[in-house]
Chain A
Amino acid sequence: MPQIFPEAANGIARLVLWAALVAVLGLVALSVLLPRSDMFTGQDRILAQPVPFSHQHHAGGLGIDCRYCHAAVEQSAFAGMPPTETCMTCHSQLWTRAEMLDPVRQSLATGTPLRWNRVHDLADYVYFNHGAHVSNGVGCTTCHGAVDEMPLMRQAAPLTMEWCLDCHRDPAPNLRPPEAVFATDWRRGSEAEQAALMGRYDIHPETMTDCNVCHR
């Protein structure tokens, strides 16, 4: 009786087995890497905006404090966007004919807010209190990156749960004294300073990873 499979079948069978192994490992690797990739997290993404507002120019170049425009950021649970009047505080006098600012003038004239696109958008099932972070020593640039160097706003951090938890497990290295929260040139202090800040803000990481801290 002749053989059913030619000799080459051995090689093909091995190849198929190896390919299956590679495929399984590849799938595992993809399932780990893809959710963390920029494509999924939106990290470094720049969204189109009605006006190409430059933080680099306003905050970096002119040295305008974050709170000049984001005025409620120290108290509000939501960071808040400035109303059109805030833009027009200066632009009623400066660049009054600039085409780029047409939408701003239109917005003021018609009372229709500008439709900015949110760059930092958390999933709806995340409870996030922005003010609690700002008033407990987490500085702007810790999460938003070097905003004063961004010509167009981009998402500096991945904003994944893993990223949130990294800091919730060990917040000390990211804590600043209150007067440095809005600084763009802040440098991390010594371990002793970090420990002192943990005490100053009364921060207890052992409860900061409880599910209901962020999902309620």
Chain B
Amino acid sequence: MKRAALLLLLLAACRQEMDEMPRHEFYEPSDHFANGMSARPPVPGTVARGDDLSPVPDEIPGPVTRAMLDRGQERYDIYCAPCHGIDGRGHGMVVQRGFPQPPSYFDPRLVAAPDRHFYDVITGGYGAMYSYAARVTPADRWAITAYIRALQFAQSVPVSALPEDMRAALETER
């Protein structure tokens, strides 16, 4: 009897209860709520602490810096390029696989559109495009807008207007 108890004790020690503690990890399911989640989604209209509640400006706020354009390019390549293409003409990889083609940023309508238009489309979606509000922060939406403006500008500059060294580089690449 004693030996059996000892053996049981030894076997019991093999269970790693600390491995799985009685608490909810991220995304762990729970029976407490109807949709099976342990986490509660925030009530609609919830504002995060520190959120900027001032009205959205119509133009890119503040000066457009090199850092902002770099950030915009990085975010654009992640979230926009799959459809809009890295050049903005709307031939991204997902479009090549059958997604409805978005308009080119060089469409006169979009060249003339205010900055706020791009911000609003990222925030709320447009046509077949879903909202990217959950994935792209307001500051990043402006950075992407600035980068789209840079893309548009790059297509409107005549080669003769380029500085000497850039024109030389362009000529050799061609």
Q: How many interface residues does chain A have, given as a range? A: 20 to 34
Q: How many interface residues does chain B have, given as a range? A: 20 to 34
Q: How far is the CB of B144 from chain A (nearest CB, A)?
A: 14
**A117 to B10 alpha-carbon distance, docked (Å):** 31
Determine whether A115 belongs to the interface, using a CB cutoff of 8 Å to chain B: yes
Partner of A62, one of B21, B97, B128, B130: B97
**B99 & A93 in contact (Cβ 8 Å cutoff):** yes
**A81 & B128 in contact (Cβ 8 Å cutoff):** no
**A90 to B94 alpha-carbon distance, docked (Å):** 8
**A85 & B99 in contact (Cβ 8 Å cutoff):** no
B73-105 residues with Cβ-Cβ distance < 8 A to A are: 77-79, 82, 93-94, 97-100
Determine whether B134 belongs to the interface, using a CB cutoff of 8 Å to chain A: yes
By a CB distance below 8 angstroms, the chain A residues around B25 are 124
A65-118 residues with Cβ-Cβ distance < 8 A to B are: 65, 67-68, 71, 78, 80-81, 83, 85-86, 88-90, 92-94, 110-113, 115-116, 118
**A19 to B18 alpha-carbon distance, docked (Å):** 36
Given contacts A78-B26, A115-B36, contact A124 B134 (CB under 8 A): no
**A111 to B130 alpha-carbon distance, docked (Å):** 17
**A113 & B36 in contact (Cβ 8 Å cutoff):** yes
Determine whether A24 belongs to the interface, using a CB cutoff of 8 Å to chain B: no
Q: How far is the CB of B96 from chain A (nearest CB, A)?
A: 9
Partner of A124, one of B23, B27, B78, B97: B23
**A68 & B78 in contact (Cβ 8 Å cutoff):** yes
Determine whether A5 belongs to the interface, using a CB cutoff of 8 Å to chain B: no
Given contacts A71-B135, A113-B36, A113-B37, contact A124 B21 (CB under 8 A): yes
**B19 & A125 in contact (Cβ 8 Å cutoff):** yes
**A65 & B78 in contact (Cβ 8 Å cutoff):** yes
**A93 & B36 in contact (Cβ 8 Å cutoff):** no
Find the A residue at minimum CB distance from B39: A113
By a CB distance below 8 angstroms, the chain A residues around B97 are 62, 94
**A123 & B78 in contact (Cβ 8 Å cutoff):** no
**A62 & B134 in contact (Cβ 8 Å cutoff):** no
Q: How far is the CB of B74 from chain A (nearest CB, A)?
A: 8
Write the A180-214 contact mask toward B (1 if CB under 8 angstroms, else 0).
Answer: 00000000000000000000000000000000000
B interface with A by C-beta (< 8 Å): 16, 18-21, 23, 25-27, 29, 35-37, 77-79, 82, 93-94, 97-100, 128, 130, 134-135
30 A–B contacts, CB within 8 A, in A order: A62-B93, A64-B93, A64-B94, A65-B77, A65-B78, A68-B78, A68-B79, A68-B82, A80-B26, A85-B134, A86-B135, A92-B128, A92-B130, A93-B128, A94-B97, A94-B98, A111-B35, A112-B36, A113-B27, A113-B35, A113-B36, A113-B37, A118-B27, A123-B16, A123-B18, A124-B21, A124-B23, A124-B25, A125-B18, A125-B19
A interface with B by C-beta (< 8 Å): 62-65, 67-68, 71, 78, 80-81, 83, 85-86, 88-90, 92-94, 110-113, 115-116, 118, 123-125
